[in-house]
Amino acid sequence: MDFWHPVRAYYLPPEVRRVRPLVRSLLPDIVLMRADGDCSLSDSDTKTANEPALPAPAGMVQHESRAMVLGELHARPFLPLNLPLRIYHFAFMTTDEEARADRSHIAELAIAVGVSPPAPDAKYHRLDFGIWELRWEQHTEFTTYTWLTGSDAAETFAYPDPIGLGEITFTPHGKLIASVHMSVIAPGTLASHPAEGFNSLALCVINASEGAARVTTDFKVDAKGFTRFLIESKALTPSSAARLVQRLLELETYRTLALLGLPEARRAGPELQNMERELGEITQAIAAGPATETQQDLLARLSKLAAAIEAQAARTAFRFSASRAYYAQVKSRLELIDEQREGDYVTITAFFRRRLEPAIDTCAAVEDRQRRLSAQLARASDMLRTGIQFELQHQNRDLLRSMDERASMQLRLQQTVEGLSVAAISYYVIGLISYLGKGIKDAGLLPKPLTPEFLTAISVPLVVGFIFLAMRRVHHKLTRKDTGKPFV
């Protein structure tokens, strides 16, 4: 018999289950061995921790990612399967930290049982324990454990709870998102009708692999927490059985992951409805031509609303895009399964078209609403900003007109002041000329016909004209200097 030792993972055969409590208490300290004492394990399909570089033509330097990209095609091989089989498949959503812890767990388990651990960057690892086999896969956001055994597998679903029975115990990291119990039986060994034990309201029965197998499922979770698949071989080879099993397991995993976008869509729906209603109110207010103060308030509301829709879109973008990608994988697996109708039963494609596609369409509809609302917000903001700018232009026009009127008034006042300045300066100059004439007369230098009064009278037009021309010249000089034109 094979065993699971340390790291809390082990296998107990039927004859030991009766003393399982005692064995559980001893597991940390003992190793359960086969009856013949052989506990050797096969590690032919495991990767070494230090995988050698790929060979390259002489004198050529390899790209650092060459080994990875070429090895990706062979990372998850279809290993031949012999029937009958019991398969238990688990998928866990994992964060980066949980994924690292899960890889460490697998490495510790491999070392504990004496096989090579996975490489630090490995995404797939296989542990062969003879009767039981574990296949571990790590993806971007989830990790899967697939347990396979041919022991006690002839009777379908005879062991619905391997963990509760103590057959397997392991410590995964992350939260469970999918669990599958699959029974694969050889031709002619099914003792009852294939639909027995399944929910008739959701029953799907198909022929797969070009009619080499019949697959039955209802995609319902049973009392033990598993979705059950029954594969009845008609002409499956070990290789075709391996391909069909892996594709069905991936189908169920991707189907579940694709639906993770639906809760996000349902949460986003009411929020979008409130945003759309508020946008409608703001748009109506804009159409009413509000005052500038009200426009500023509306613009603040629009900015807040735009931030809310962008925050929601950022929150849901990854989940919605992941749902689209997973749904594409679901459709790809359905094509690869090559399903054919079995009697009057519903096919898996028809079942998904009725149950899965509406959920994916809901996610797409929410994405469309987000994009449409974001575009409407942008247009409303543009309209509101245009209105505010138009109002500001009117205000600036009125302000400039007022400034022009004030400038005209100041010019008229300046011209008036200039006229008064000419009169005042002329008055003082003429007074000086009058005093000068009287002094000349007293000195006897003024000719007889002339008098100081006559001299003063003659100087009035000359003085006024000269001062006026001088003031005009100074004014023109200052004007030319302000406008940057040369003064002549």
Q: Are residues 122 and 209 in the same domain?
A: yes
Listed residues 255, 281, 312: the one ending a domain: 255
What distance, in Å, lies between the first and last C-alpha atoms of the chain? 118
Same domain assignment for residues 377 and 269 = yes
Picking from 224, 255, 286, the residue at the C-terminal end of a domain is 255
pTM greater than 0.75 (yes/no): no
Is the domain of 241 the same as that of 296? no
Does residue 53 fall inside a structural domain?
no
Place of tokens 């033990």: 224
Please indicate, yes or no, whether residues 249 and 141 belong to a single structural domain of this protein. Answer: yes
CA distance 263 to 330: 19
**Pair 236, 337 in one domain:** no
Q: What is the largest CA-CA distance in the chain?
A: 164
With respect to residue 21, please indicate whether it lies within any of the assigned structural domains.
yes
Residue 140 lies in a domain: yes
Same domain, 31 and 84: yes
Q: Domain for residue 340, yes or no?
A: yes
| Domain identity same for 175 and 146 | yes
Residue 78 structural domain:
14-40+73-255
Residue 132 CB partners (closer than 8 Å, separation 6+): 2, 4, 11, 147, 148, 149, 151, 168
Q: Which of 305, 311, 316 is nearest to 265 (CA)?
A: 316
Same domain as 338, residue 232: no
Q: How many domains does the chain have?
A: 3
Q: Do 463 and 321 share a structural domain?
A: no
How many whole angstroms separate alpha carbon 100 and alpha carbon 334? 32
Query: Are residues 287 and 390 located together in one domain of the fold?
Result: yes
Ordered per-residue pLDDT tens for the chain, 488 residues:
333 333 333 343 343 333 333 333 333 332 333 333 333 333 333 333 344 568 888 888 888 888 778 877 777 777 889 999 999 999 999 999 999 999 998 998 888 878 888 888 888 899 887 789 999 999 999 999 999 999 999 999 999 999 989 888 788 899 999 999 999 999 988 867 778 889 999 999 999 999 999 999 999 999 999 999 999 999 999 999 999 999 999 999 999 999 999 999 999 999 999 999 999 999 888 888 777 678 888 888 999 999 999 999 999 999 999 999 999 999 999 999 999 999 899 999 999 999 899 999 999 999 999 999 999 999 988 888 877 777 777 788 888 888 888 888 887 887 777 778 888 888 888 888 888 888 887 787 777 777 878 888 888 888 888 888 888 788 777 776 655 555 44
Note whether residue 56 is domain-resident. Answer: no
Is residue 406 situated within a structural domain?
no
- Choosing from 220, 255, 290, the residue where a domain stops is 255
Q: Is 8 part of a structural domain of the chain?
A: no
